[in-house]
Structure 1
């Protein structure tokens, strides 16, 4: 039997007092979700909530980490900060299993293209920032500038210019990929019997 797609609202329900509610019967049918919830013996289920935060940040294509093009290591660091976990926290085998399921069920081929472009944009920005920082450091040391140093600096300028020129191209590709993702999601809705809206917005699918 095919299991229901995991979404954060199905994993984590919060009542009006800010306390996590017990999973529904439908949720408890899923062995992984059941184990994730029942293994936390604390009264406030704080461990379960923190696990869900980690799952969301690393597994959901719409999470802030994924939308920023962060690597898994960077996404985990963000999740640790948001969940208030120790800096040396390592996700358990169960959490990693659910992350893998969550991601696979929610990404899709068009989503993978969008995510890869977001990562590319993130890495290009890091590269530009790093080259600029090195360039600024060299320029501040004007007393030791030589012909050879100037040649190196001009090479750095060329590199940062080349990298910066990639950003508009990547942004254009990203926007086109978001449109493809939008149509992929709308097609999924149509196949599932859902209504296709007349005012589709690519931003809703990223």
Structure 2
């Protein structure tokens, strides 16, 4: 996953505000060709913090901005992945905090190179119903993140999700992309990573 910038406000400054579009588009116009050159299939982008905007306004703004970058992404064969995050625990005021918001944007943009980064940790906190949501919206997802709930730690028996079942559901959709294990280990990191890989081996 490529990152188009290292700004401290990267998450909160997203496509849901038209005032951000010029900067975000410049970043992606630089990053997408670089990603293509080095074989990086995906680059990340954010919906941004709500700051009083309705969902309808935020969706319209995102669509307007992403429509300006989709042709380049399609030409370069690089997918721009908009991340879904929780606004309940980790990212207060983030607007893209439910799958329905992201899917509405994806449907309107209608590009094979503008997709969602479905973060399982975040969406379990916000809405649950993870397996059905993945199956229903598989056409709009290009990348997954994991992380144990609660706490964003290991994918083990201390967590509330059945990770092997989730992995099987993802595989059953025919997904061919990446699942990134994005958790903070509480014990030996390599052991924790090996266990996560085993949980997702189906």
- Larger radius of gyration between Structure 1 and Structure 2: 1
- Which structure is richer in relative contact order (CA contacts within 8 A, separation 6 or more)? 1
The alignment's TM-score, normalised by the length of structure 1, stands at 0.25
Question: Is the helix fraction higher in 1 or 2?
Answer: 1
Question: Is the strand fraction higher in 1 or 2?
Answer: 2
